[in-house]
Amino acid sequence: MNSRYFTEEHELFRKSFQEFLQKEVVPHIEKWEKTGTIERFIWKKFGEMGYFGLKYPEQYGGLGLDIFYTVIFLEELQKINSGGFAAAMWAHSYLAMTHVNAEGDEEIKKNYLTPSVEGDKIGCLCISEPFGGSDVAGMKTTAVKKGDKYVINGSKTFITNGVYSDYLVVAAKTNPKAHNKGMSIFIMDRETPGISATKLDKLGWRASDTAEIAFDNVEIPAKNLMGEEGKGFPYIMQHFAFERLIMGINGHARAEFALDYTLNYMSERVAFGKTIDKFQALRHSIADMASEVEMCKEFNYSVADRLGKGEYVVKEASMSKLLSTKIADNVIYQCLQFLGGYGYMEDYPLARMSRDSRLGPIGGGTSEILREVIAKMVIDKKEYKPAAK
């Protein structure tokens, strides 16, 4: 236990969440990995247990807990070896719901946040588009105001929970000429006429449904605008800090899981008359990896602490994602190597881990984009400010 950040209550929560995952989730993972469909009952169970409401206000059914409960939620989800299941859960509770909580008005929160906390409605966040994901401001989807409605046209891609979710949080241009100042955020029900989704086949994260989504003259009430018109870009950028830290925390947690599993394997596997954890070449590599993971973890905890206290940690969160996802990829690659041929077999966890981990340096801001952000802050002394309320 890292007592600087985690209390006894945190650790009790960790233990009970671990038990819940082992009992209610792990028995179904292989099936969901094969079908790419997470059955509805587990969403409801997460809701009943309060797991979707950890950080959300009590008035909407949440528990209003500090950020380290979220850290535990993310870490333990990484340790059941289904990046796809974990992604489905955190994309709902921390991508879609973050916008609903931050920008939704009372009516939106009543209609979407409370049912999201309870596990009755699942959300997705639609930002990336087929012709550009990194260049968020360059998006082409439009929302044109007509009387008391907005009409949405365009498409999104690579959307986590994009097929089976009940509602969509969508970024669209309300004033295409104003570039990043002309973007707004909307919420809409899946059943709204004109929305269609196509499921994508992918390398990893196989339990989660990832979709390309088309919007063909989709009419939504004007009151489904979230926050102020034209403020979509700063809203997105502001929440990116949290999303990037989430992906950093996921990185250190899955690397730690890979290391623990591999150390145990190495303590049992015999070659040349001794267990392979006695070979100096492998021991030194383990020492390097354990050091890197520990450093990431400590850094991520400290950034989480600052974010939880309200600091705008955009530089640190970008650094967290950049390095933690890279280290996770390296650790998992190396751990697979230490399992020899077994590492390559689906019966052992490293095969799936190496596929799932590969998304880390791509999703939610690629490593190249993160380097751009960090370079602007470190070299050009650029300061990013949170969106004004």
Ligand X SMILES: Cc1cc2nc3c(=O)[nH]c(=O)nc-3n(C[C@H](O)[C@H](O)[C@H](O)COP(=O)(O)OP(=O)(O)OC[C@H]3O[C@@H](n4cnc5c(N)ncnc54)[C@H](O)[C@@H]3O)c2cc1C
Q: Which of 369, 374, 377, 387 binds ligand X (CB under 6 A)?
A: 369
Return the residue matching tokens 């969901």. Answer: 32
CB atoms within 10 A of CB 137: 16
Half-sphere exposure of 38 (CA within 13 A, CB side): 32
368 binding ligand X? (CB under 6 A): yes
What is the total count of residues that contact ligand X (CB under 6 A)?
A: 24
The single-letter DSSP state of residue 50 is: T
CB of 159 to ligand X, least distance (A): 5
Task: Compare residues 126 and 286 and give the one whose CB is closer to ligand X.
Answer: 126
363 binding ligand X? (CB under 6 A): yes
Nearest Cα residue to 168 out of 202, 126, 221? 126
Task: Compare residues 369 and 387 and give the one whose CB is closer to ligand X.
Answer: 369
**Of the ranges 98-106, 138-146, 333-341, 364-372, which one interacts with ligand X (CB under 6 A)?**
364-372
243 catalytically annotated = yes
122 binding ligand X? (CB under 6 A): no
CB of 82 to ligand X, least distance (A): 13
Cα(85)–Cα(38) distance, rounded to whole angstroms? 7
- Using CB atoms within 10 Å of the CB of residue 291, give its burial: 0 to 12 exposed, 13 to 18 middle, 19+ buried: exposed
Q: What torsion do the CA atoms of 138, 142, 145, 146 make, to the nearest 10 degrees?
A: 160
Nearest Cα residue to 122 out of 170, 165, 61? 165
- Mask of contacts with ligand X, 140-179, x by CB under 6 A? ------------------xxx-------------------
Q: Label the pairing between strands 210-221 and 195-199.
A: antiparallel
Q: Which of 128, 141, 184, 300 binds ligand X (CB under 6 A)?
A: 128
CB of 6 to ligand X, least distance (A): 29
The partner residues of 218 in beta bridges, in order of sequence, read 152
374 binding ligand X? (CB under 6 A): no
Which residue in 33, 243, 292, 316 is the catalytic one? 243
CB atoms within 10 A of CB 340: 13
Task: Compare residues 119 and 204 and give the one whose CB is closer to ligand X.
Answer: 204
**Of the ranges 34-42, 118-126, 214-222, 223-231, which one interacts with ligand X (CB under 6 A)?**
118-126
364 binding ligand X? (CB under 6 A): yes
**Of the ranges 33-41, 120-128, 141-149, 257-265, which one interacts with ligand X (CB under 6 A)?**
120-128
The pair of three-digit structure tokens given for residue 362, joined into one six-digit string: 């791509």
CB of 222 to ligand X, least distance (A): 23
Query: How many H helices and E strands in the chain?
Result: 13, 10
134 binding ligand X? (CB under 6 A): yes
The pair of three-digit structure tokens given for residue 26, joined into one six-digit string: 């792990």
Task: Compare residues 84 and 343 and give the one whose CB is closer to ligand X.
Answer: 84
Nearest Cα residue to 371 out of 305, 309, 319? 319
Residues that bind ligand X (CB under 6 A): 91, 124-128, 132-134, 158-160, 202, 205, 210, 359, 362-366, 368-369, 372
Catalytic residue numbers read: 243
